[in-house]
Structure 1
Amino acid sequence: MAAAAPNPEDAARSSGSGGGSGGSTPSALAGDGDAEEAEDFTSSSHCSELSRRQNEQRKQGLFCDVTLAFSSGAATGSVQSCEFSAHRSVLAAATDYFTPLLGGQFSESLSGRVEMKEWSSELGPDPETVESVIQYMYTGEIRVSTCNVHEVLELADRFLLLQLKDFCGEFLKKKLSLTNCVAVHSLAHMYTLDQLALRAADMIRRNFHKVIQDEEFYTLPFHLVRDWLSDTEITVDSEEVLFEAVVKWVQKHPEERSRYFEELFRLLRLPQIKPTYLTRVVKNERLVAANEACLRLVSEAVEGHAIRFENLKSTDMELWSSHMASFQPRFGQNMDVIMVVGGVSEGGDYLSECVGYFIYEDRWVNLPHIHNHLDGHAIAATESHVYVAGSMEPGFAKTVERYNPNRNTWEQVSNLTTRKHSFGLTCIKDILYSIGGHGNFSPGFKDVSVYEPEQDKWHNLESAPKILRDVKAVSVEDRYVYVTARTPVDTDNEDGLKTVTTRYDTESRQWQDVDSLPLIDNYCIFQMAVASTNFYHTASCCPKSYTVRDEIARQKSVCASLMKS
């Protein structure tokens, strides 16, 4: 049965009501004339959930429209390839690398296939690492480790993933050490990570004498070895060591490296090498003996040792002028120096002066002043710096400064955890240990704290078993700290002091009492020093030698008279 046609007026009325699709929809809450009210809604999980689902679709091969093919081994003739499916819209949104490649008129855009070749490793990138980087482009999440950071960095650099590349640089900066600084420096240069390159270069300069003992150094290409030998700030024990390093580097691959020997040899400061070593070792080295230019340089260096510059004729000065730089020690060459820092003037003022005594040159020189005015401070040397901490001057009682001998400068580092003076400071495995001390309103401290230069942070360890003040500390066998100090007989009475000697094991963090040094006067000035397996102690009227293995004191035959405080 057919339905009756609607009345035209009813139809018009219906079309003008809120129920029709063609008319306006009145708000259920707002009355006539009321302003519309609205709120924005954002789902915090929507984007992450969307990227997660897209990544799952990629793994399952759903809706994928591009293939990334990573191939390697072309140079060896054994080509290996691994392929990954993806969505071109996601890749193009993730990085500018894929936008023109997949959206323009390139063959990759038309074929939907992108070939990835030429990797630093002949085997190409590890498939798991590639998968993690592709997943990062979808989700923004990745796990970087010391095992995969090189490949992640290479992929991030190739795909223009700048944030990931910077993260890899920061990660490597945190992991920088003597064992990897050469490799990290090479990576930083390869991928233009300037801050990382500067940090690694500084570590290499400060520890060059150790770096050349590592096999990693001998894998460097010629241009990097040349750059390091040209660097005036590298820290070396002697020029002889550098000569041996050059010979060793060439001998690793003599067929391809022998041609570079003369250029590297010219960078050595031969006049700084002992004449006997020049004639017996350098001159007889096969690489030198086979090169007339190198032999001539050796002869000039030997002659230079025998000639005094003030007796040279003007023509002779012209001959030597081109080689004057080689007669100066490298700025970073290690030399034995005794430093004196701070103290009290005759007028009772705290001093900031610093002087150094160059032992083999038998001369004193003025060094840059420390920034603080010091007395009662502690001083210790690591492989690369001299640290000065604490003071009886309240304003400087927590400050720590370090002297960089390569740059001849002082710089402030993190403060001590406690204001103090007259405490022990020593170095074990390039870590500083601060022990005990005295405060202006305290009978003394039990504190033990350590400073790690790479992190520039102090943190406290377990306290010593007793108060230790007027502390003298020495390190032995790069593990033990021997401490001689005064401790109150009664903590409520500062006048009653006794001398104690104790040993701290930095590995087990245990204290062990040893035979106390027999001080005749508990208020005398005393010092300690280590030589071989003995540490030497001077106090009152008798110097003593203590064998650290059995801690048995041997009376020395020489007596000394020391001032009393």
Structure 2
Amino acid sequence: MVLFGSNQDQQKCNHASYLFNEMSKFQKVGILCDVKVPGQLHVVKAHKIVLMSANPKSDTSGCKGAENQTAICDFPVEEVLKAYAPNNTAEDPPGPEAVVDSLGQRLGALNDLRLHHCCCDVTLVANEMQCDVHKVVLAACSDYFRAMFTSKMKESMDNRVVLHNVDSFYVRTIIDFMYTGEITLDFNGACDLLEIAVFYQILPLINRCQTYLISNLSAQNCCYLTMMAHDLALDDFLSHCRSYAFEHFLELDHDDSEVDLLLADDLVACLSRNDLGNGISNTSTEQTVLRVVLRWLRRKCDDVEIPEQDRILSQVRFSLIAKQDIDICCRALAMDVDNNNNNNNGDDFFASFGPAFKKHYERAVTYHNRVFEQPLLHDRSDLRTDQYHRACVDGVLAPNPVKLPSYSKNVFVGVQDVNPDSEGNVPIRDPYHNVVDFNGFLYLLGSTRTRDSCYSRTVTRYDPRLDSTIAIASMGEERGDFVACVLNDYIYVIGGRNRHGALASCERYDPRQNSWEKIADLPQGIYMAAGLAHDGCIYVTGGFNDYETTGTTLRYHVTDDTWEEIFAPMMCDRGFHALVKGHDGLLWAVGGVDNPFSGRNVWEVEAFDPDLEMWRFVGQVLPVQPFLSMMRINVFLERDNRTCVFPVSTPHKYPMLEHVPRSRMWFEMRSRVVVSQVQVD
């Protein structure tokens, strides 16, 4: 055992200040006062032990017993209040009888009166132990004794109080603490004393025990202390214990943690957090989460109702764990149970974790078996992080931010140029592929610059949850420089070009069937147009046909599979541009060139109003350091309504630009938005 506290003297002084302050409150209203000090105008009631501790030289003869209401004549009435304020400074000098200024000395003088049985007016009895004490000290430290001695309870008239079901060792320890402010604590003693202190409402001891236990929280005891805080209704203590358990949740994956002592509500509150594992979101983190939950279930499943088990298991993100790893976790913990029951069969692990587990296990197996449908089975399958990333695949930006794993072999922070090939050559062409995000999954449509083919039918999906890629069904025909977007749980691919020229064909991908189907063709073949999904329709603007630049505005109606050409041509014919939904809800066309063959940059920005079916001029991209080319740019809308632009190729050579709505001007961004490069090939 060690003496708690690095500053014992400060703790002792704080306790003395609290004690004398409480007794001062009693003196002001005449509670438990046992002496009268006559003054010139009135008589002041006081506590004999307070005055005697302030003036050790006073006559203490005949002071034993509370019934002696004799005035201490040699103690001036003006010094009474100072006796209850022992922390006077030199600016407030003591009276004719020197008052001891040191809080520690005053507390020691008070304890000496107890040890010499001087003025003791009550005896505490616990088992065979008897201890003479002062009612005013007990009442100052304990609301329990305050109510006992200041009400009309039987004990208020007796000079003997029997304490039941309390060990005499702890009674003496508590009395010593009340009179000295000093206590020696270890973990088990602090827990026992905290329960006693809560029962007898001894606030100073409650605070001292809580402080000790909070400073000694660990993965081995935080669950026990959380349960204890619940039982004792100590809200602040509970908050500290729960916070520690939440922050160190992954450390509870061992038998000594007693995780089953956590209440279901505490477990759910922890599992619902996105910062488990200090924000390191990966499959290893979720495997640990699953093991902790299984440890809880195998001990509590017989005591917890099925809906409660279901509520807990719903917080486990099984999609972040590969199916084989789920089986390994379950069988390993089920074997522990079987070994304890002298049964070495761990195959039927459902019985070990309660009836609700089977449903969630089968749902997880279904999710992992139906690989291509996973974006539609998006039920609490996000990575455990609150941070979203702008993600590029070979320079092409996904339309929306996505969650990415903290440590990944496929994710690199910062936009990068395409890697050189084996001979050190860097491809100079712009990418022909496109990228969409579908419920947190990234789909690479077409071929990146690391491959030989410019036009391609291939489609690859990247799963940030498992940090893995798979090939899905190929498009109906190879293409490049096409529009791609997601609408109503389908991926749409529109137009583009191949070796034979511009394409009018369009198709969509159904993840339920892992197949592509043709939809209505465009009015003409178009490549390097820009498009997006908005309000249940798909809008496609500009682009090039085989001969010239177009400024058409097309709208695709999903319900009847038709294309509508809106009689509202763009103000500037353009291709190689980007279309983004602006802060005003309009569809902004940014960048591009006015001719497919060495065309001029289009610096004008215009916005289309789908309701009014008309374009309007927004401004020009005129930054401090303008791009050399506005061909093939990435555009996105930040959360603070800034429209941001950076080039697809050689992004590190040019600044990232932003449009500030308040000033309606474009500026070079002082701090670039972090964009992560995802390697999907």
TM bracket (short chain): 0.3 to 0.5
Bigger Rg over Cα? 2
* TM-score (norm: length of structure 2): 0.37
* TM-score (norm: length of structure 1): 0.43
Structure of greater relative contact order (alpha carbons < 8 Å, 6+ residues apart): 2
